A and B are shown apart, each in its own frame.
Chain A
């Protein structure tokens, strides 16, 4: 059933282009978030459009501070690792016919990178040697235990539908019907997982105002810049990864395939950004039941439906 994908592997030099696409999407997300914030406060919109540049310049010039006895090594692994995890996620995403690495286990690779975020955010919370940061790290793990299993089983649905873990095959298998149409539950749970592992919107409580910034509380200078960039990059990487997984890959009229991928991703990313100002925060201790009593059975039924459809179609 799955068409054998014929992707051209561009290898490590091509990763620069993929990084540029990721950066462009992340910058767009920051700008959109700034515009939405300015509009809700009735402030002028123009400053929010250059917010990325202003904030980057400010943080690059700011002197790094560290609390007494901070574990600087693990702290900096945490703050700088998020961007790396996001970049490694998109390395297996095909843009049209080209991909950095045509890994045969691309979906598992994505899952591994999002589990890496567990470690990175907790280390970010631990490293600062500050109670607020540490509580933020624990909050993230509490959320992670709740969203990760539903997310894992949501990733199973497209893999079963395409009978492959390779992203090129998954995108090619949607030439008739996009997976988002007949796997809506898996898509919804996937989106929820992406927003959650990006510490964003309703799941931003590990970095919440009630914790004086939580895992971000003590960060300054380039460390803060990297950690914040990492959150936006993860959000953008999740949106990009959804395109071959659920949204038909590069398929679309008029535009070339490599352009359709970022176009579709930016629409999804805009929805993720909107979620920040439209949905209420989730209390970490309350998500466990929602995740395991509601989402997990729902997504398991989705997997069953997909498996039955695939078996019947033969």
Chain B
């Protein structure tokens, strides 16, 4: 009985994930495209619950909805002269894009179907989330610890290079102008 319910859940969520991913390119509105993608990710997150990865599944939904909410803002903002607030096509260079995406889908799908999946040995650990974390991160912890400050430094460096205004624009040539000359005042009176 439980097995049947899990099967039904898997197929419903799987079809929902693929169908809403297709919708991203079919709909003609930025908001609908963004949130169709969010729905696809939500279906993926919920299907992780079928693996009893409750934490990973719920966090996936959390991260993806948050990400798509912010992405909708950027998508509209960076559309520039294109009227992103109006109905518009979500595809460019249709023929090449279609060929690439079909090829990618076939390769990945074939890989998933043809790869010799291992047979289960033993029983799953009682805490599958901890086991997954151990398997993913255990041996690579040093790499992760090194990579994260490098990533933060890259983000900060990128923003510093991209920002039009420097600290000299904010604080003056001698860095002694208080409060800083900002186009918008901050909330804490700096």
Q: Which residues of A contact B186 (CB under 8 A)?
A: 286, 288-289, 293
Contact pick for A287, options B32, B72, B187, CB 8 Å:
B187
CB distance from A129 to the nearest CB of B (A): 9
The answer for the CA separation of A127 and B185 in the assembled complex, in Å, is: 31
Most B Cβ at <10 Å: residue of A103, A126, A148, A165: A126
Answer yes or no: A3 CB below 8 A from chain B CBs: no
Q: Is the CB of B62 within 8 A of A289?
A: no
CB distance from A217 to the nearest CB of B (A): 16
Q: Which residues of A contact B58 (CB under 8 A)?
A: 105, 108-109, 112
Answer yes or no: A192 CB below 8 A from chain B CBs: no
The answer for the CA separation of A165 and B62 in the assembled complex, in Å, is: 15
The answer for the CA separation of A105 and B52 in the assembled complex, in Å, is: 11
Q: Is the CB of A111 within 8 A of B69?
A: no
Q: Is the CB of B35 within 8 A of A119?
A: yes
The answer for the CA separation of A148 and B69 in the assembled complex, in Å, is: 13
> Considering only CB atoms, which chain A residue lies closest to B184 in the complex?
A285
> Considering only CB atoms, which chain B residue lies closest to A104 in the complex?
B54
Per-residue B-contact encoding for A158-171, CB less than 8 Å = 1, 0 else = 00000001000000
Q: Which residues of A contact B65 (CB under 8 A)?
A: 112, 115-116, 118-119
Most B Cβ at <10 Å: residue of A74, A122, A127: A122
CB distance from A84 to the nearest CB of B (A): 13
Contact pick for B31, options A109, A126, A148, CB 8 Å:
A126
Per-residue B-contact encoding for A179-211, CB less than 8 Å = 1, 0 else = 000000000000000000000000000000000
Q: Is the CB of B188 within 8 A of A71?
A: no
Q: Is the CB of B32 within 8 A of A74?
A: yes
Q: Which residues of A contact B55 (CB under 8 A)?
A: 104-105, 108, 165
Answer yes or no: A309 CB below 8 A from chain B CBs: no
The answer for the CA separation of A217 and B50 in the assembled complex, in Å, is: 41
Give the residues from 18 to 41 in chain B that come closer than 8 angstroms, CB to CB, to chain A: 29, 31-32, 35, 38
CB distance from A263 to the nearest CB of B (A): 29
Q: Which residues of B contact A138 (CB under 8 A)?
A: 73
A108 with B59, Cβ < 8 A, contacts A71-B31, A103-B54, A118-B66 known = yes
The answer for the CA separation of A105 and B54 in the assembled complex, in Å, is: 7
Q: Which residues of A contact B72 (CB under 8 A)?
A: 122, 126
Kindly state the interface size class of chain B when it binds its partner. Answer: 20 to 34
Q: Which residues of A contact B44 (CB under 8 A)?
A: none
Q: Which residues of B contact A294 (CB under 8 A)?
A: 188
Give the residues from 40 to 68 in chain B that come closer than 8 angstroms, CB to CB, to chain A: 54-55, 58-59, 61-62, 65-66, 68
Q: Is the CB of A115 within 8 A of B62?
A: yes
Q: Which residues of B contact A108 (CB under 8 A)?
A: 55, 58-59, 62
Give the residues from 136 to 186 in chain B that come closer than 8 angstroms, CB to CB, to chain A: 184-186
Number of interface residues of A (CB under 8 A): 35
Answer yes or no: B102 CB below 8 A from chain A CBs: no
> Considering only CB atoms, which chain B residue lies closest to A283 in the complex?
B187
> Considering only CB atoms, which chain A residue lies closest to B45 in the complex?
A112
CB distance from B179 to the nearest CB of A (A): 12
The answer for the CA separation of A104 and B184 in the assembled complex, in Å, is: 43
CB distance from B31 to the nearest CB of A (A): 5
Answer yes or no: A123 CB below 8 A from chain B CBs: yes
A112 with B187, Cβ < 8 A, contacts A122-B69, A126-B31 known = no
A112 with B62, Cβ < 8 A, contacts A71-B29, A71-B32 known = yes
Answer yes or no: A141 CB below 8 A from chain B CBs: yes
Give the residues from 103 to 158 in chain A that come closer than 8 angstroms, CB to CB, to chain B: 103-105, 108-109, 111-112, 115-116, 118-119, 122-123, 126-127, 134, 138, 141, 144-145, 148
The answer for the CA separation of A141 and B54 in the assembled complex, in Å, is: 27
Give the residues from 56 to 93 in chain B that come closer than 8 angstroms, CB to CB, to chain A: 58-59, 61-62, 65-66, 68-70, 72-73, 85
The answer for the CA separation of A2 and B41 in the assembled complex, in Å, is: 34
Answer yes or no: B190 CB below 8 A from chain A CBs: yes
A112 with B61, Cβ < 8 A, contacts A74-B35, A119-B69 known = yes
Q: Which residues of A contact B54 (CB under 8 A)?
A: 103-105
CB distance from B185 to the nearest CB of A (A): 7
Q: Which residues of A contact B32 (CB under 8 A)?
A: 71, 73-74
CB distance from B38 to the nearest CB of A (A): 7
- A selection of 10 A-B contacts at a CB cut-off of 8 Å is A71-B32, A74-B31, A115-B66, A127-B31, A138-B73, A283-B187, A287-B187, A289-B190, A293-B187, A293-B190
Binding site for A on B (CB under 8 A): 29, 31-32, 35, 38, 54-55, 58-59, 61-62, 65-66, 68-70, 72-73, 85, 184-188, 190
The 9 A-B residue pairs with the shortest CB-CB distance in the complex, in nearest-first order: A286-B187, A289-B186, A290-B187, A289-B187, A118-B69, A112-B62, A126-B31, A108-B58, A105-B54
